[in-house]
A and B are shown apart, each in its own frame.
Chain A
């Protein structure tokens, strides 16, 4: 029996693989039924925004939690998806053959050639997952095939997000520069200031997030997941067994990029703006804190952590902006230094005390599973 058919080094992987479906159902009910009932339309729109962040977090959970690739540059992929969508919305608002308003203001009043394809809604929808995926594929192959890893990869991915933000700032006439793209009026023909359409956007974001979680759940139960964890824990051993660890890593990196791109694309009509401040180094690292708090090894931890942190940030930073920064810094320090498994570690510690076979059955049973010794 080789290392890949055994569940290697259970700990982290076991309690993530055994995430009970019931938690997912509760989350789905909360998002699709509960939240629209309880929250005002303003809060609902905020939650829609957090769902977009959670999509990025889900991808980071795969790349970082499972694959050990700490990517500090997800802002790039989030931004690619977002800007593609924003370009289409700007062109659609301007109308057939017309020029978006900010270009008339800053530019020479012509639409640049690389904008033109995104007049087509279908092409835009295809490009939103495709472009971030392709960029991640090329970068991933360049980096991982050459066995650049660990801190080197992290720093490169961060530099990438920084370079992207700087590039956007410099292109005032074609990307809106520091202001970014904003002032969208319609979303595929539906007026964005209509409250019904706003609520629909929330449902789209929440449903997309749930579909992504379900897809990730299947991925986490596949042999690929075992392989990815094996690469994380012993890359050379996997290589000696005849696999190419680079391919395994590239796949996870591409999936994470696609999820981030879709999250970014949905973020644009919901937030109504995308600017370099949303894609640079700081937001890229900001994506990590929710993942770290929720538990990077788990399926739902990154999602719940991100929504929780974003909600806390929204409430706290409104009233005490300076306090929030201290709090965020302290969160990074306390969670990562002293609770590396995130909050999921707390439940995981309880669960790991039980034999594996009954772990999932007993998972949502609050009483200690004394009967499970048999």
Chain B
């Protein structure tokens, strides 16, 4: 029984990491249709923010709590910079955006390599995250629980922001009908930029969280970007709940398959499962119905 519960927790934990990495993408890719390959490097920037903050403030707990908002701002600012300089010109060419942002991601990686060095660095986790909670016969590492909680907070904050605030209403209006939103006096330029700020900021938060489960290196983001895109695709474009379901679904699947096979075969099987799933639901879990032929 403890095996199953342990599997379940491993899956949920992996799912929460995937979710953090994919949540920002569900905004920039899902809502705006921008394929931002540099998203992984925003994650990496968040992780290095945590590293830098810890160099300044040696207390691990304070630095972690401070890193989360700072990582959000760093990721967000990078995103806005990218949007304002390049992506703004290319909204009508989504495929080309992919290649351009890949170029950006190459450059950001090299910048990180030149600044921090190619070997990975470690960010110390605070003492209160190092133990584990005992629940019946299952050991739950507190660090993993913290990430799970952080993911839940991010999803809740994003959902509330999109649904109940003026800002969220403007962002949704812009996505749903750009021209009509404009005639109602909404600055769609500003909406785009804000959406990109939030989406990229969430990547930064994900980066801070990732320092708790592994070391930080300039190539940190490349390991997550493919999975994060898969989550958004499987979840369905433009729906936060789809992304949440897909992240935990893929996390659980990966953890279960890893248990019975090896990590690499599990990865391949997860991919095949996504392709098979898209056979049944080509637009992901939650598809926005439309009659458009585009």
Contacts and interface: CB of A to CB of B under 8 A. Distances in A.
A336 B35 contact: no
A329 interface: yes
Interface stretch (A115-123, A147-155, A193-201, A360-368): A147-155
Given A154-B35, A325-B106, A337 B271 contact: no
B218 to A, nearest CB: 10
Interface residues of A, number: 45
A336 B268 contact: no
Give the secondary structure class of B's interface. Answer: helix
B100 A163 contact: no
Contacts of B93: 340
A235 to B, nearest CB: 9
Interface residues of B, number: 42
A162 B40 CA distance: 15
A148 B282 contact: yes
Contacts of A340: 93, 96
Interface centre among B89, B229, B262 (most CB of A within 10 A): B229
B268 A167 contact: yes
B94 A337 contact: no
A139 B113 CA distance: 37
B262 A151 contact: no
A332 B107 CA distance: 10
Nearest to B89: A337
B99 A336 contact: yes
Given A143-B275, A159-B271, A167-B268, A322 B35 contact: no
A182 interface: no
Contact of B233 (A70, A147, A152, A164): A152
Contact of B109 (A162, A171, A325): A325
A72 B103 CA distance: 14
Interface in B208-259: 222, 226, 229-230, 233
Nearest to A156: B275
Contacts of B278: 143, 146, 148, 152, 156
Contact of A322 (B98, B110, B282): B110
Contacts, number: 119
A358 B1 CA distance: 78
Contact of B35 (A143, A151, A289): A151
Contacts of A167: 264-265, 267-268
B263 interface: yes
Contact of A337 (B96, B263, B264, B267): B96
B271 A163 contact: yes
A146 B282 contact: yes
B103 A330 contact: yes
A12 B186 CA distance: 38
Contacts of B89: 337
A322 B275 CA distance: 37
Given A142-B279, A159-B226, A337-B89, 7 more contacts: A68-B95, A162-B267, A170-B265, A289-B99, A326-B107, A340-B93, A340-B96
Interface of A: 68, 70, 72, 139, 142-143, 146-148, 150-152, 154-156, 158-160, 162-164, 166-167, 169-171, 236, 281-282, 285, 288-289, 292, 322, 325-326, 328-333, 336-337, 340
11 contacts: A70-B95, A70-B98, A139-B275, A151-B33, A159-B226, A160-B271, A163-B271, A328-B106, A329-B104, A329-B106, A330-B107
Q: Which 6 A-B pairs have the closest CB atoms?
A: A170-B264, A332-B103, A329-B106, A329-B107, A325-B110, A333-B103
